[in-house]
Amino acid sequence: MTFKSFNPPQRILMGPGPSDVSARVLSALARPTVGHLDPLFINMMDEVKTLLQYAFQTKNEFTIALSAPGSAGMEACFVNLVEAGDKVIVCRNGVFGDRMIQNVTRIGAEAVVVDSPWGRAVETHKVKAALHDHPDAKFLAFVHAETSTGALSDAKTLCKMAQEHDCLTIVDAVTSLGGVELKVDEWGIDAIYSGTQKCMSCVPGISPLSFSPKAVAVVQNRKTQIQSWFLDQTLVMGYWSGEGKRSYHHTAPVNSLYALHEALVMLHDEGLENSWARHKEQHEVLAKGLKELGIEFIVPEEERLPQLNAIYIPEGADDAKIRDYLLEHYNLEIGAGLGAFAGKAWRIGLMGHAAKSENVALCLSALKDALYQ
């Protein structure tokens, strides 16, 4: 038996992630691997921290790139901050809110679930009532950009309400970072995690993570030991910070961090606000074109994510057949529905590098062809 190198075609990724990775980021990956404690590499890690602070709009000293995907970023927030017996208010308006609940219950903590309809933002009045009814709740957790439904929640208001009740916030920003307004310090977010393969347009497998000084104090003053060795951030802190005295924790994904560095330099060059505006502009062009095709959005206009367009599959169209056709004839990937929307919705991503006019035009004409062929 012989094996050949794997050479995938050049797809256009307009699903829920991973998104298209630019040639610049891909070429950064191919640079020579250096030791993960090489002084040059440590300098680069410091730049990654500074650039992540910019992307998150935070001065948080504890801002790192976790060597694992977004799901591990989620787990890192919960296992470090939450202890058995703690009460956590968790907002659920899609698949990822549900995963937060599973994280909380596996710790042996109590999840107070606030349900909002799928395809809508988290209903702030319900969260307000939950905070009022549960004065002993220590944390409020929610997903800023629900990738499973395309809904954007009002993180600023939710954080403000949490602060009024002395609750720390745990926020999923996997799809929001770089794609929509996000201001960690101004809004007072305490623990936040993201992913590299959505609006950062980088390779999958890394999770940007940031804890406020308040959150770090909670981690440091725990009564019980953190159950996960790998995700225990008190051990990781020595690897990502400390002047010249970096200690080995695990081997960082060296080349993937080159890629993240390059993606962050590109975001910094463009400017965060410009990136948010570009996502919005491209979304508006796409929305207009979809309307002309008679296609309807799931989420009401004012709660829509520009970077993730969840639409109803038009009547009579075969979900899998259409997506196969787009892939085969146009090398174009769009996302299927997830959870309650499986078989009912498509998810068109306009994430990071993919949020550009050529992609929007291609997607609209390819969809038209696929639907009316």
Ligand X SMILES: *Cc1c(COP(=O)(O)O)cnc(C)c1O
Residues that bind ligand X (CB under 6 A): 17, 69-71, 74, 96, 143, 147, 172, 174-175, 195, 204
| CB nearer ligand X, residue 196 or residue 275 | 196
Q: What's the closest the beta carbon of residue 61 comes to ligand X, in angstroms?
A: 24
- The burial class, CB within 10 Å (0-12 / 13-18 / 19+), for 125 is exposed
Residue 334's beta-bridge partner residues?
14
Closest residue (Cβ) to ligand X? 70
Q: What's the closest the beta carbon of residue 7 comes to ligand X, in angstroms?
A: 24
Q: What's the closest the beta carbon of residue 95 comes to ligand X, in angstroms?
A: 8
Q: What's the closest the beta carbon of residue 193 comes to ligand X, in angstroms?
A: 8
| CB nearer ligand X, residue 53 or residue 307 | 307
| CB nearer ligand X, residue 174 or residue 267 | 174
| CB nearer ligand X, residue 41 or residue 96 | 96
Q: What's the closest the beta carbon of residue 145 comes to ligand X, in angstroms?
A: 6
With a CB cutoff of 8 Å and minimum separation 6, the contacts of 302 are: none
Asked whether the beta carbons of 309 and 303 are under 8 A apart, the reply is: no
Q: What's the closest the beta carbon of residue 373 comes to ligand X, in angstroms?
A: 31
Q: What's the distance, CA 345 to chain centroid?
A: 20
* Angle, alpha carbons 247-25-236 (nearest 5°): 20
Asked whether the beta carbons of 206 and 196 are under 8 A apart, the reply is: yes
Q: What's the closest the beta carbon of residue 339 comes to ligand X, in angstroms?
A: 12
Q: What's the closest the beta carbon of residue 18 comes to ligand X, in angstroms?
A: 9
| CB nearer ligand X, residue 326 or residue 335 | 335
For every residue of 65-81, DSSP letters joined together read EESS-HHHHHHHHHHHH
| CB nearer ligand X, residue 79 or residue 370 | 79
| CB nearer ligand X, residue 66 or residue 287 | 66
- The CA dihedral of 47, 53, 59, 62, to the nearest 10 degrees, is -80
Asked whether the beta carbons of 96 and 151 are under 8 A apart, the reply is: no
Residue 336's beta-bridge partner residues?
346
CA dist 135 and 184 (Å) reads 24
> Where do runs of H (alpha helix) occur along the chain?
23-29, 39-56, 70-81, 95-107, 124-133, 155-164, 184-187, 213-220, 233-240, 254-270, 272-292, 319-330, 357-372
| CB nearer ligand X, residue 70 or residue 119 | 70
Residue 78 corresponds to which tokens in the numbers above? 């919960």
Asked whether the beta carbons of 53 and 63 are under 8 A apart, the reply is: yes
Q: What's the closest the beta carbon of residue 287 comes to ligand X, in angstroms?
A: 20
| CB nearer ligand X, residue 204 or residue 314 | 204
The candidate with the shortest Cα–Cα distance to 142, out of 110, 100, 198, 205, is 100
